[in-house]
Each structure stands twice: as structure tokens, then as C-alpha cells.
Structure 1
């Protein structure tokens, strides 16, 4: 029989061994990620911070293609091979939530209202009283202007109203006819066209859908006002609309004096040693004194019902929306989805070096997102050709009427 001292030693050693013997098993969650190089590096840093704080959860990051994300997720759900977590953007979140494919995170401690995330971004992930993801990205739109071009034209501030936007476009244009050396205003193609139209539609007090979401109504008075602004811009020799690739380079090098864009401009400037100084301004409004408003696009991380590790996956998604994680996004020159990120050390360092980035961060207080609708992608695809037709010279009312008819046919098909 062991002595008292030996028994005490044995008990002590047993106690020391107990935690290891009953240590929680490590859980591995699969995370599909299809971000740009800029967003990807921020995500890698976030994962490292998460795993350091949660040593019992490992994240297997699987690189996917941004352009085929929706199709790949749809196929995975159908074959019961969905990951634990993936990003979702555009109207796909509401579509999957409506189909019952996403986990309602309220059962894992996410409150139905969340003061730690910008209202516009949090609104995106709510559906039928549930919370079906958490935002990782909230990108405002704003006017980017070349400071040297503004100084040469005697301008000190970006345009405050749509009338000023048109006036500035004319004033900033250098050259005439087919010999334009500097365009006054530029607008990108495809998605940018639709975002600009929706931004103007919202500014004029309009909506894309009627109150119960059964019909598209963006051909109403507000939509017509938005379309007429685009039509007037398209009629100016110094406006290059539906410009496509290279527009950010153009404003950074003075070939275009101002553009409608988002926070991608900062990373573009970082990687361009010959970039000229540029400024950031709010999206113009219909009239002086109107409430500032800009369109913001949102991306969210979601947990799939097929996941075998829902609790761990929910912890991961919650962390990625926190200021602690979002500061890594700001460090890579994108705004954070949480107002609290302003106080995070890496974010503060980025804001000090890039004051325009802090301006972009603050614009999220006044950002609205696209409509939440389970058939939004089809309606969005009807808006793009309508704006293209207006730029091409078609009467705005006719172009918008045709787009609304197309959108409502899609809504009736479901």
C-alpha cells in the first residue's frame, strides 16, 4: 500500500493528466472561399487569428472561383456535399434561406438585432425573423476624383447634387469631339451600371419592388428621374459610361477626372507607383440638404444545414464579423462591417495612412443595400440591359418599361 506522500503524488499526477485524457476533440470545418487576392490575404489572417483563439477548431480553407461560386454551391447542395461555411453575396442568401438550406444562427447566440454591425449589412442576413449568416463585407459606393484634375478646373469639392455632377462632368472634360484627352466622369460596365441606377433610384425615393415584393416597379417616377440623369450624362462627350476594365487606372492617372466606384480603388492605388493623388466624396443627391445615401454591396458567410459541425461553424462565422477579425480586412484597404473596427489597432494604422479609407468607412453609416428578394438575381439581370439601352440613346421610360416587364415575367415564373 502506498504511503500518504506517495498517494498524494499519485493523485496530483492523475489530476495533471486528466485534462489531456479528456481534452476536447479537435473539429475541422471546411470553408470554401473565392475572394480576390486582396480579400484572400485578409481572410487568411482572420483564420489564423480565429484558430489561435479557438485551438479546438481547425479551418480547412478551399479556394474556389468567385465567378462560379453560386453554381458550385447549388451543385454541392443537390449532391449533399456542401461545405460547412462559404461566402454568399447578391440575392443568393435569401434564395437559399427560403429553400431551408441555411442555418438560422439565432440558435447559436446571434441576436435578431445586432448593434455591432452596420444596419444595412445586418439587414442583408435577416430573413423571416431568422439570421442566416453574418456579413464579412460591406462596400459603399462613392465618387473618386483626381485631385490634380479638380485643381486644374478650379474645383475644391466633389459634386453635391446630380445637377452638379453633370456640370462638373462638362467642366472637367478636356478636349472635344473624338479628341477627348480627359473625360469628366466615368462609369464601369455591367454591375456598376445597375448599382448606379439603383443608387439614383433610392436617392429619388424609389424602390425596386412594390411593398409585398410581388412586382417590380422601378419604372415609376423615381426610376424615370434616375434614368433621365443617366441619359443626360450619356449625352455628354466627356462622360464615358459602360467603360469596363481600366477605369480605376484612368482616374488614378488623370484620363478620367471622377468615377463612381468603391473601396477597390485603394488597393489599385497601392499597387500603382505612378498613381496620382485622389479624393473620396459622397454620392451626389437630388438637391442640397437631402439626406446622404449611397448604395452598398454586401457579402456574408453562411453555415449550411448539411454541416455536421454547425456549432463550430457558427463560432467561426461570428468571429469573422467581429472588429477583432475585421481589422485585418481594413489593413488590406477595405472597410469593416462593424463600426467598432474603428478602434482596432490595425484599422487605425490603415486609416492614418489612407485617410480616404476612413471616409469610406464612415460612409457605411448611410449605406443601403439592394432589395432582399428570393428572385432578386433575375430582376437584377433585367436592370442591366435597361441602363445599357438608356446609355445607347433609348428613351428612359421605354427602356425601364421593357425591363420591368421582363422582371415581372421572371417573378411570375418564380
Structure 2
């Protein structure tokens, strides 16, 4: 496997054991066969996978699926790291956030799906999601869903504030934020690490890169033009009390403010409609969705904010059957429809061009009731265009999970005014550089 010395980015003692785990598949002559009875183990935290397993097993009666929820995102990664380090208990398939995928690919934990013909599926997915699984010349997963960014706003509050036209540039967004604040609401809350990265991406930034051999990384937040654009804007808005820094995203108070209009805007992934219905049902009919503001008049640039892929673990001895499951989940029309019906936003071009999907004006709640949340707007038309506008080429760090875990201790400290956003970014970069060196990477800072 490649770069076993970087396996310490998973857990401190995993390098040697991860080598043996990967070696188990390389030394095996049996990569799995879908025409013989076989059971595969799949780790995934999303409930939308559950009904699709039944569809898959009906279409593939010789393949049984053991679906395991090993924890949400980082909790699953910890469990997976422990399994890789021990060389046992490794699933055949696992769900990964796009931002975490490269970390496991560089360490040799994932199987290149090119040998199964995965590269032929490129045109079935949006450029942004395909870019996220196409790593270092191989295909290390298939896109399951996506999160192109969009601007969700409370039209009732905007009308009250005198914001009669949706801002299309960041200058207009800043002016709208002042009017919304004067009306007693906020247009945004303080960002988390995922949002921060997405905004750098949307600004055309490229602060991170990793060499094809996984030996060196570039960490250049302080010198990156896109990072500076966003940091400067956010600092200006923080200084003028245009961002609510007191409310934590996904908290009960955040939900309440979405519902009562205290929070009148969200810059977030396209998976948000179902969450809005669940989090702020009392605001039904008041919200709308628009394209993200851009840095230049007439721009269309966008970024991803969330989404995940299914990947086959390199240690799997049932890789053929495992790939058939991955392909079915991400490419079968019935499987996709089931997951989209459960609230996932699609990554496939077929759904994003489907007339029924594009014409939808209601959002299903948890009981299956259709809610007119966006005032009759064909919201998926906006979100589908947002997916087309995602720019390619943004890179995450090969230890992105760690990078995001220390965001609050560095950049987020600027939200209380004790330091500037720019200083927080510098502190974050210093910690990332130190961590990269500790893991054995050669680091470039420019």
C-alpha cells in the first residue's frame, strides 16, 4: 500500500497494523463474487440507506447486506481507524464525507474502483461530486449525495427590512445584512469549519494541496487570495454586529430563531429543505432559496457544503460484491429516488434534470406530509442550478477531520472579538503546519 508512514494520521499506532490489514486483501486471490452467496458489511450513519438495502437484496439475491451504524461521521471514523489499526472488524463498504475521503485514500485504506469500470460513470454525476471521488488518478468511491451551497432567506423578514431584491453579490449581501439587522434580525450566524472551507472554495481559493505520492502538503491559508476575500468580508460583518455569534448552529435556540425570524438567512448546502421543515415548521411559507452571492457581478461560482460517498475498503475480500452494492446505491434510479425521498440531495445528473424533481414545490416532513415551505417556489430548480455552478479543483487536507476538529480553538475565537478573523486563520495555519510535520509530511506554506 502507499504511504504507510502517514497512517499515523488515523491513530498513533496504526501504521504497521494498517499495512497488514491492507496486505490481507492484496495477498488474497478472491476479491469476492456476486454470483455466489456472500454477505457484506456496510458502515453508514444515514437512515436513508435502510430502505435501499431491501431494494438491493431483491435485485441481488445472492448478496446479503449487514448494515451497521458505527456512529455519526467522526465517531465512525474513530471506529474505522481502530479496526484498521487492529487489522480486524473492517467493513467491506463505508460511508465517507467527501472531505474525509482523501485522508483514507492516501493511506491506502480504500480500493481503486477503476478495475470495476467506475470511471465509465463520470457523466452520471455532477462535476463537484465526481471531483471529490476522483483522487490521484483513481476512483475511490461513488457519490451518494451532494451539498451545493445556496442562499436560503426569510422573505417576510427581508420584505420588512426593505430588502426587495435578493443580493447577487457579496457587496449587496453586506448591504442587505445591515438592513436586516436594523429590522431586528440577523442574516447569518458564526460559521463552522465546513462553512469556512466552503466559502474559501466559493471565493476561488486553493489554500491546500497534497502531492500525488502523499508525501508533501501545501498549507497556505494566510497567502491564499480566496481565503483573504472571505476573511475580510466576515471580519467587517463581525465588527458591525451583522452576524449572530451567540447562537450555535443546530442548537435549540438556532431552531427557534429560524422559526421566529430572528435569523433570516442561511448560506448552506442544498440538503437544508428537509432540515428546515423539521427545525422550524412554524416558518412554513416564509422562506425562499436563491443562488449564492458571488464576488463579481454576473458571477456563478459555487462550492459544495456537505455530501458523502460510499467506498470499498481495500481490506475487503468481497470487493466485487461490495462494489455492486456501492454502484446500486449511487446509480440505481429506484435507490436514488428512495434516498432523495428521505431528504438527501442528489449527486446524479439524471435526478437533477428530472422534470418531476425540478417542479417540486413542497417538502415532505418526517410523517410524509407535503409542506409548502417555500411559498410555491420550485426550489429544486434553484438547487439543481447551484449544483451545476460548483467549481472544480478545490482540495482538502489529507487530515481534514483533524483540521476541522481544531477550527473552534483557533478561527472561531475571532467571533467574540478577542482576535481578528485574520489572526484566527494564522493560528489555524500554524497548528495545521505543526500537525502535518508531526505526521511526517513535507510542508509547503506558499
Taking structure 2 as the reference length, what is the TM-score of the superposition? Answer: 0.77
- Report what 2:219 is aligned to: 216
Q: CA deviation at 1:72?
A: 0.4
Q: CA deviation at 1:313?
A: 0.6
Aligned partners of 1:215 and 1:411 also within 8 Å? no
Kindly provide the CA deviation profile for residues 185-233 of structure 1, in whole angstroms up to 9, marking residues without a partner as x.
1225xxx432333333234432122685633111124322211111111
- Report what 2:379 is aligned to: 356
Aligned: 1:236 with 2:240: yes
Q: CA deviation at 1:24?
A: 5.0
Aligned partners of 1:90 and 1:377 also within 8 Å? no
- Report what 1:10 is aligned to: none
Q: CA deviation at 1:343?
A: 5.4
Moved over 6 A (4+): none
Q: CA deviation at 1:146?
A: 0.7
Q: CA deviation at 1:381?
A: 4.1
Aligned: 1:258 with 2:265: yes
Kindly provide the CA deviation profile for residues 74-107 of structure 1, in whole angstroms up to 9, marking residues without a partner as x.
1112222111111012543222222222111111
Aligned partners of 1:326 and 1:337 also within 8 Å? no
Q: CA deviation at 1:108?
A: 1.3
Aligned partners of 2:141 and 2:310 also within 8 Å? yes
Stretch deviating more after TM superposition (209-218 or 44-53): 209-218
Taking a change above 3 Å as real, the CA distance of residues 348 and 29 of structure 1, as seen in their structure-2 partners, is: farther
Aligned: 1:156 with 2:181: no
Aligned: 1:374 with 2:374: no
- Report what 2:413 is aligned to: 389
- Report what 1:136 is aligned to: 144
Taking a change above 3 Å as real, the CA distance of residues 263 and 120 of structure 1, as seen in their structure-2 partners, is: closer
SS in structure 2 at match of 1:297 = coil
When the two chains are superposed, the root-mean-square deviation of aligned CA atoms in Å is: 2.7
- Report what 2:93 is aligned to: 85
- Report what 1:18 is aligned to: none
SS in structure 2 at match of 1:240 = coil
Aligned: 1:62 with 2:68: yes
Aligned partners of 2:98 and 2:133 also within 8 Å? no
Aligned: 1:326 with 2:336: yes
Show the 5 A alignment for 1:332-347. Answer: 332-342=342-352, 347=357
- Report what 1:145 is aligned to: 153
Taking a change above 3 Å as real, the CA distance of residues 249 and 332 of structure 1, as seen in their structure-2 partners, is: farther
Structure 1 runs not aligned, ≥5 long: 1-22, 176-181
Taking a change above 3 Å as real, the CA distance of residues 290 and 263 of structure 1, as seen in their structure-2 partners, is: closer
SS in structure 1 at match of 2:198 = helix
Aligned partners of 1:117 and 1:338 also within 8 Å? yes
SS in structure 2 at match of 1:165 = helix
- Report what 1:73 is aligned to: 80
Kindly provide the CA deviation profile for residues 271-295 of structure 1, in whole angstroms up to 9, marking residues without a partner as x.
3542232011222112212332233
Aligned residues: 377
Aligned partners of 2:358 and 2:380 also within 8 Å? no
Kindly provide the CA deviation profile for residues 158-177 of structure 1, in whole angstroms up to 9, marking residues without a partner as x.
221222222111101256xx
Taking a change above 3 Å as real, the CA distance of residues 113 and 83 of structure 1, as seen in their structure-2 partners, is: same
Aligned: 1:270 with 2:277: yes
SS in structure 2 at match of 1:111 = helix
Taking a change above 3 Å as real, the CA distance of residues 57 and 242 of structure 1, as seen in their structure-2 partners, is: farther
Structure with higher Rg: it is 1
Aligned: 1:225 with 2:229: yes
SS in structure 2 at match of 1:29 = strand
| Separation of aligned partners in 1, 2:356 and 2:51 | 12
Aligned: 1:26 with 2:30: no
Aligned: 1:50 with 2:60: no
Aligned: 1:119 with 2:122: no
Stretch deviating more after TM superposition (216-225 or 354-363): 354-363
Structure 2 runs not aligned, ≥5 long: 1-33, 364-377, 440-446
Taking a change above 3 Å as real, the CA distance of residues 307 and 346 of structure 1, as seen in their structure-2 partners, is: farther
| Separation of aligned partners in 2, 1:243 and 1:411 | 32
SS in structure 1 at match of 2:61 = coil
Kindly provide the CA deviation profile for residues 117-163 of structure 1, in whole angstroms up to 9, marking residues without a partner as x.
11111111122211111111211222211111122223333221222
- Report what 1:8 is aligned to: none
Taking a change above 3 Å as real, the CA distance of residues 73 and 117 of structure 1, as seen in their structure-2 partners, is: same
- Report what 2:13 is aligned to: none
Taking a change above 3 Å as real, the CA distance of residues 99 and 197 of structure 1, as seen in their structure-2 partners, is: closer
Aligned partners of 1:242 and 1:388 also within 8 Å? no
Aligned partners of 1:137 and 1:300 also within 8 Å? yes
| Separation of aligned partners in 1, 2:228 and 2:239 | 16
| Separation of aligned partners in 1, 2:356 and 2:43 | 26
- Report what 1:412 is aligned to: 437
Q: CA deviation at 1:240?
A: 0.5
Q: CA deviation at 1:30?
A: 1.2
